[in-house]
Every structure is written in C-alpha cells, then in structure tokens.
Structure 1
Amino acid sequence: MIDSVKKYKWFIVASFVIVVGMLIFARNLVNETEVENEWTIPSEEEQDTEVHEETLVQEPDVKNLVDVKGAVENPGVYEVMLDERVIDVIEKAGGLKEGADETKINFAQRVTDEMVLYIPLIGEEGENMIVTAGAGSTSISTSQEAGKININTATSDDLQNLPGIGPSKAEAIIAYREDSGLFQTIDDLKLVTGIGDKTFEKLQNLIIVK
C-alpha cells in the first residue's frame, strides 16, 4: 500500500499544482475583464448627453438690457434676446398707454444693449430722448427723431422697413453712400437711382441723417 502511495506521489503533486495554476489564471482573467468593462466606450446616448451639457456651458444665452420709459404700462428695465425689436420690448412693458404717440416709434427697430427707449405722448415736446449706447458709441435722438431711420448707418434690413423700399433700392442706397459719401440732408436721398419725388414724399418723415 505504501509503495502504491509512493508510486503516485509525484503524479498527485503535479495534478495539484496544475489545478492551483488554473484557478490563479481564471482569477486573473476575471480581473482583467472587469478592468476592461470599466474602460468601455460610452453609448451614443451618453455621449450625446455629455456633448449637450458641454454646449450648455459653452454657449449661454446672451441677452440685452433695455430701459423702457414714458407712455408704457410698466416702465422698467427688461431683458431681451439679441434678435428682438422695439415692439417686443413694448409688449414686455405691458403695451402702450392710451395717448402714446405711435408715429414717433419705429416698432421694427432692433434693440441694442443699454438702450433707453422713451415713448412720448401725443403732442409731447421737450428733451425726451431715445439713447442707444453700445459697442463704444452713443446715439441720441430727440423725441421728434425717435424711431426714424438714419439713412447713413441703416442696414439693408432697416431700410426695407421703409415704405416703397425693397431689397434693390436698399442696396442702391447703401452703394450710393459708399461711393459718394454720407448723405448731408435727407433730400440727398433723391440722388439715388430709383428714388423719385413720390417715393421721397413717403419717406421724408421717417428718415434722418446724422
């Protein structure tokens, strides 16, 4: 019996070592799999969420502040988006009061940061002003000029808010002032090709030069 045990002694030891080695190998394999899982590439949904969060951080909403005064229901300072216009600000301020002089207001004018928008009453005179301050420059207009378009600085879109001015005439006005210099008086507008007396009559109370 003892001889038999001695005979198979090394076989038993070798078998034990092999089994232990296999267990150690299997354990290492499991650990490596867990590490790989920790470094798994995020799903498309997770990536989209991360990109969206980064976008929100990198691109915050940019707003302007406009001080609304005069004949509106709720005067005050209002936040407006970059593409909003005077009519949008007036709506935020509760709308016009009865007796507000709408002829002095360019409802289509784009608002700018730090703009002071004064809405006069019909027949009101004095030092009432619209003051627009931004980009390092200040533009001041009396109540008689409030809402009028400055043909020396107006963009094509601004000019197209005027009656009888379409894209082609707007570009002609811009081309004239670039080639011949700024308009000295509003009457100089008639020097632009396509602007006749009848068209000018519709515009003369809606435009200014500065």
Structure 2
Amino acid sequence: MVELVKRYKIVILFGVLFIINLCVLLYQTNKENPIQLTTVPSENIASTQTTHEGTENLMEQDLKSTVTPTKSEIGVSESIAVMPSPTISAKVPVYVCGAVKVPGVYYVTATAIVDEVIRLSGGFSEEADMTAINLAASIVPNEKIIVPKIGEEIDKTVTSYDNKEESHIRESTLVNINTANSTELMSLPGIGEVKANAIIDYRKTVRAFGSIDDLKEVSGIGDKTFDKLKALITV
C-alpha cells in the first residue's frame, strides 16, 4: 500500500513538472514572436465606408421602387385639359351701290359671296338688273360692287361682278405709273420711249402721281392718249 502511494506521488510529480516546462516553453515562444496588429490605411477605411454607403443607397432606392407604386399601377391617370383655340372671324369691308335699297359699306367675312352683301344692303331695288350680278361670286375685300339698273351699261373697270380670282388677275395686270420702269410703261398703248421717259422724269422732278388723272400733266399725254390708258393703269 505504501509503495502504491509512492508511485502515485512520482506520477503526479512528473505531471506537474511537465506542465511547468510546457508553460515555460509557451512563454518563450510568445516572447520571440510577438502578436502583430495589422493597421488598415485610412484610405481603405474611407473607400470601404463609401462603398457601404453606396450599397445602402442602392438598397433604399430598390426598396422605394418596390414599395412605392406608380400612378399607372394604382389606376391614377393624368389628364391634360386642352382648351379649344378661339375662332377668329375676320371681316372685310365691301362697298355696294347702284340699284340696291340701302347702298353703303358692309363688313362681311372673307368667305362671303355677293348674295350676302346684297341682302345686307336691303336687296335689289325695283329697277335693278338682277341678271347682271353673279350672286354666287366670292367677294373681294375692299371691292366696289355696282348693281346696274335695267338697260344701264356699267364700266367694269370701276366695279367687279366676277369672282375673286379674276379680280386679282385684273388688278395684277394694271401698270402702276408711280413704280413702273420704262419697259413696263412702253407696254401701254400710245406710250413710246419718249413718253415713258417723260413720265419717269415727272415722278423724279415734280411729284408722285396722286391719281391716274395726274398723268395728263405729263408733256405729250393728251385726253385721247389718257382714254386709252385709264383702264390699264393705277397708282
């Protein structure tokens, strides 16, 4: 029994010595190779933080787009009220005279016809030659419409019974004696190079023509010549 106790003491003693030696060995090893703490650069930290923040922002946007429904998804539609543009009805003056009940200047739309103007003037008088007027013709702004009496001849150079297109053609063929050059003036009957130059000199040295009658003040333009020109010229 005594020997058994001695053996246990020897075993325990060796065990204690082994533990002591192991502790000494570990201490020396740690002393020779100390634990090194790795320092992370501030740039890497900032970059990591920025990346983290960007990731959070993207996650928030994805969450909003997922959670917040659009107007089309919830059935709400935007409607824009389109206001109708106001219709501008411009009116133009037309002078009607002759064999009508109430001669005068009447304002009608640019698309009106002669019949509308005649109605505004009270209609034809009893002596009016109704066959001389084209009631279906379109009016020409600022035109003068003379309704002739039965048997009366009207000079069509001072009136208009035809349609707008024909009236414009007639007006465009008139020679303006205030602006025409010598070639244009010489296209008129009875006007040669001498008279054309005389007309141009009159405009330059005297005055512009106030009316076509002033043309008779030009040297060489008499009544006979003027009668040939009056239906073909304007100022």
Compare relative contact order (CA 8 Å, sep 6+) and give the higher one, 1 or 2. 1
- TM-score, with length taken from structure 2: 0.33
**Larger Cα Rg: Structure 1 or Structure 2?**
2
Q: Which has the higher strand share?
A: 1
